[in-house]
Chains A and B, each alone.
Chain A
Amino acid sequence: MNTLVDYENIFIGKPKGIKVLQAIDVSKRYQKDYVLRNVNLELEQGRLGIIGLHDSGKTVLMRLLSGLEKPSSGKITLDGRKLDRRKIAYVPQTPLFDPLLKAKEVMRYVGSEEYLDVVDLEREKKVKDMSLGEKKRLALALSLPFSPEYLLIDDITEDSKEFFLEFIKNFRGGVIISYHNFRDVWEVIDDVIILSKGRVTYKGNKEGLKFKIIRTKALSIPFDRVVREGDYVEIWEEFNDNSVEEKLKALGINYEVKEASPDEVFQRFYA
C-alpha cells in the first residue's frame, strides 16, 4: 500500500465538525423549461439516494450539488456558506477527459497519481481505452487528494458497481448517489429523495418505502392506495401498518399479503 495516499482522510473516522450540505429551494431552468423545481435537501453524514426515472432531473441536481452548475433560483450551501467544491468528490454520469492522456497524466492536474491505487486503476491506461466505469473511477480519484467530506455519484455502471458500493460503505463522509432504481443501491442508502419531472415526490427514510400488497376481491370500502386488477383489488399499505388487514378481518373478507419491493412502490406511486 502506498504511503503517499491519505487513507485516513478518505475512509477512517468522521470529518472534523459536522458539516451540512444543503439545497435550499433550488430550481433550475434552461431557457424557459424548468428541469428542477423547488428542491430542498439536507445531508450530514448519512447516505442519500436520489432516485428517479430518465429525465427526472437527477443529473442536473447532482451537477448543482457538485458546484459544476449554478441554480436558477435557490442556493446550495455547505455549512451555511458558499460551496467548497474540493470538499465534494463528484463522479459524473459520463466523465469527460482528454482521450489522449493516460490516467496518471490526468491525475497530474491535481498532483498525486497515487490515488489511482485507491480506485484500482492502471496508471498507464489511456482515457480512450477506458470503460465508462473506469472513467468514473478516474473522476473519483481526481477528487480524493482534497480529502472530500461528501461523495456524489451520478449513476453506477455495471462494470464498476461492486467497486462503488464497497467504496460508499467505507467512505467516511456523507454520500449522495443518484440512480434509476432501488434494487442495486438499497443496501448502501439510508434516506431517499424521489424525483419526478423535476419535482420531489418522496423525501424521507428508505423504510418509508417498505410496503405490502393486500390482495382481495373487489371492495366498495374506500382505502388509500387501492389499485384495481380485474375482479381483484390491491391495497398498498405501509409495512408496519396493519390497519387494513384488521378492517378486512373484521369484515370477514379473505385476503393475501405479499411484500412489495421498493422499486414497485417507487414506480407505482412516485415515478
Chain B
Amino acid sequence: MRFSNVFMLEIKKLLPLFFLVLVSMAVTLGIAQLPSSSFDVIGAISYSSYGVEIGGYGFNFCGQGVPLTVNITIDCFHKIIKSENGTFLVYIPLIFPKDSNLTINITSGKENYVVSKVLTRNFTTFVYAPASYFSINYNNISVIYIKGKTVVATSLKCIYVNGEKMDVNSTIFVINSDNVKPPFGNYTLTDLQVIKDEEYCIISLLGVNMGLILLTAYYYLSVFPRRLLDLIFRLIGVGKIYLSKTISMLVFTLLTSLPSLIIFALLKGIFLSSILPYILIELVYSLAVLGISPLVSSKGLVYSSITLAGYLLNLVFYNEETLSLAFLILPLIGYIKLRWVYR
C-alpha cells in the first residue's frame, strides 16, 4: 500500500467540504465591511495679531473623510462647526491672541479627541491617529501614515515622497503613498495599531474559521470513534492513515484560513507578515482537534473543540500566540491512543 493512495483517499473524503473555503471567504468579506470606530485627525493652527485660523481633516484608515463636530473654545469665544466630509477651516477674529488658551474638541461617532494648546507659536500642528501605521507630530509638521496614503499638515516648503523631493503648496494635503518623509528623521511603519483596532474582527474571523474546521472535523475525523476504519486499521495499522489525515487536515485548514486572512489583511491594510501568528493558531487548532478525535465521542469532540477554540482565541487576545504550540501535544496523544487500541 502506497502512502499516496491513502492520502488521495483521505483528500477525496474531504472534497465535499471544500465549499467551506468559499463560506470562509464570504464571511471574511462580511466582517471586513464592518466599519472601524476609530478615526484620525490632523490639523494646523496659525495666528496673527488679528485672529486665529484653525484647519483640519478627519478621516478613516482608508483616507476617506468622516463626519465631524468641532467645538472650539478660545478664551471666552466658542464656535461649533459640523463637517460631513471631514474637512474644517475656521477663522476666529481675535486681537493679539498670543498666550490664549485654545481647546478644540473633535467628535466623530462616539469617539472624541481634545486638543488643548496655549498659543505661543505662530504655526503649530496637531495630530490624533489611533487608526494609522504611524504618526509624526512636531510644531511645524504632522504626518499620519494610513493604508496606501499619507496625510500631512505642515508649514515646511518640501517633503520627500518615495525618496524624491516634492515642493509643498498647501498646509494640509493627502499624498497617495505611505512612503512620505519630512526632510529630517527616519520612520518605520508598523501595523500594531491597526491590528489592535481590528482585534475583535480578527478574533471573530478566527472563530468562524475554527467553526468551519470543527464542522469538518465532526464529519471527517469522527470516523475514529465511528469505527469506519476498524478493519483497515486492523490490517495496515494506524500510522499511514493518521499521517494522511493529519496532512489532509492541514491542507484543508490552510485553504480555509489562508485566503480569508489574506483577503482580510489586504482589505484592512494589515501587513501580510502579521497574519502568520493567526495562521499558526488555526493550524494548531486543526491539529489539536485531530488529536482529540480518537480520545472522545463525536459529541465530545464538538464540546472539547469549542473549549479549545476558546483557549486559543484568548491567546490571540493576549498576543500570546506562540503559547498555542503547547497544544501540539494533542495530536501525539491521539496517535498514541490509536496505536494502543489497535496494537
Interfacial residues, chain A to chain B (CB-CB below 8 A) = 66-68, 85-86, 90, 92, 95-98, 100-101, 105-106, 108-111, 139, 142-143, 146
Contact = CB atoms under 8 A, between A and B. Distances in A.
Interface string B1-13: 1100110010011
B9 A68 contact: no
Contacts of B235: 85-86, 109-110, 142-143, 146
In this complex, which of B5, B228, B235 has the most chain A Cβ atoms within 10 angstroms of its Cβ? Answer: B235
B2 A68 contact: no
Contacts of A106: 232
Nearest to B4: A108
Contacts of B5: 108-109, 111
B226 interface: yes
B1 A109 contact: yes
22 contacts: A66-B234, A67-B234, A68-B234, A90-B234, A92-B230, A96-B231, A97-B231, A98-B228, A100-B12, A100-B16, A101-B13, A105-B9, A108-B1, A108-B6, A108-B9, A109-B6, A109-B9, A109-B235, A110-B232, A110-B236, A111-B2, A142-B231
B110 interface: no
A105 B13 CA distance: 11
B265 interface: no
A110 B12 contact: no
Nearest to A109: B232
A170 B40 CA distance: 85
A111 B13 contact: no
A129 to B, nearest CB: 16
Contacts of A101: 9, 12-13
Interface in B207-243: 223, 226-232, 234-236, 241
A247 B1 CA distance: 67
Contacts of B223: 98
A110 B1 CA distance: 5
Given A66-B234, A101-B12, A110-B1, 10 more contacts: A92-B231, A96-B228, A97-B228, A100-B13, A100-B16, A108-B5, A109-B236, A111-B1, A142-B231, A143-B235
7 closest A-B pairs by beta carbon, nearest first, are A111-B1, A108-B5, A109-B232, A96-B228, A85-B234, A98-B228, A96-B227
Interface in B272-299: none
Interface string B252-283: 00000000000000000000000000000000
Contacts of A146: 235
Interface in B1-36: 1-2, 5-6, 9, 12-13, 16
B230 A142 contact: no
Contacts of A139: 231
A30 to B, nearest CB: 15
What DSSP secondary structure best describes chain B's contact surface? helix
A74 B12 CA distance: 42
A230 to B, nearest CB: 51
Interface of B: 1-2, 5-6, 9, 12-13, 16, 223, 226-232, 234-236, 241
Contacts of A85: 234-235
A97 B226 CA distance: 10
A95 B232 CA distance: 11
A62 B231 CA distance: 13
Contacts of B2: 111
A43 B1 CA distance: 30
A246 to B, nearest CB: 54
A109 B233 CA distance: 10
A85 B232 CA distance: 11
Contacts of B230: 68, 92, 96
A105 B12 contact: yes
Which of B5, B229, B234 neighbours the largest number of chain A CB atoms within 10 Å of its CB?
Answer: B234
B228 to A, nearest CB: 5
Contacts of A90: 231, 234
Nearest to B223: A98
A105 B6 CA distance: 9
Given A108-B5, A108-B9, A96 B226 contact: yes
Contacts of A97: 228, 231
Contacts of B1: 108-111
A133 to B, nearest CB: 16
A66 B231 CA distance: 10
Contacts of A86: 235
Q: Which of B1, B13, B226 has the most CB of A within 10 A?
A: B1
A110 B13 CA distance: 17
A27 B16 CA distance: 43
Contacts of B13: 98, 100-101
B343 to A, nearest CB: 8
Nearest to A85: B234
A106 B9 CA distance: 9
A232 to B, nearest CB: 52
Contacts of A108: 1, 5-6, 9
B122 to A, nearest CB: 78
A109 B7 CA distance: 10
Contacts of A95: 231
A223 B275 CA distance: 88
Nearest to A148: B235
A146 B231 CA distance: 13
Contacts of B226: 96
